[in-house]
Amino acid sequence: MRGLTIRNSELPSGWQCIAVEGEIDLATVGELEAAIESVLAANSHALVIDLRKSSFMDSTGLKALVMANRRFDEDGRSFAIAVSGGPVSRLIDLSGVESSILIVDSTDDLDRPSRQG
């Protein structure tokens, strides 16, 4: 059975991090959306979704990320995706979302977020 593991943490930079392992698809995207919603509700100023250990993501996962970015942006908060290599990185590249979402190779690449709003 395919599964999804989600871990929430705060990075030294002050960013909240949702680290995702496994496959993000129609069956599991609700778990990712719930984790994102909890960070939104906590009024965190910045969120990075760490997909470096995700083995697969379909269009439902991509849509969840685009919608999260939109909500963070509307609230003047920072949003990013950490991904490097593999099929998830390829989907991100092909989708063109890097024109609207900050994409980093590592969560270590993130600066302390500005406190807006």
d(CA 93, CA 62) in angstroms, rounded, equals 11
Mean pLDDT for 71-76 is: 96
Does the pLDDT value for residue 117 go beyond 60? no
Pairing outcome for strands 16-24 and 4-10: antiparallel
* pLDDT, tens digit (0-9, with 9 covering 90-100), for 80-95: 999 988 899 999 999 9
pLDDT digits over 26-48, tens only? 999 999 999 999 999 999 999 99
Ordered structural domains, the chain, with CATH: 4-106 (3.30.750.24)
Pair of tokens at residue 57: 């993501």
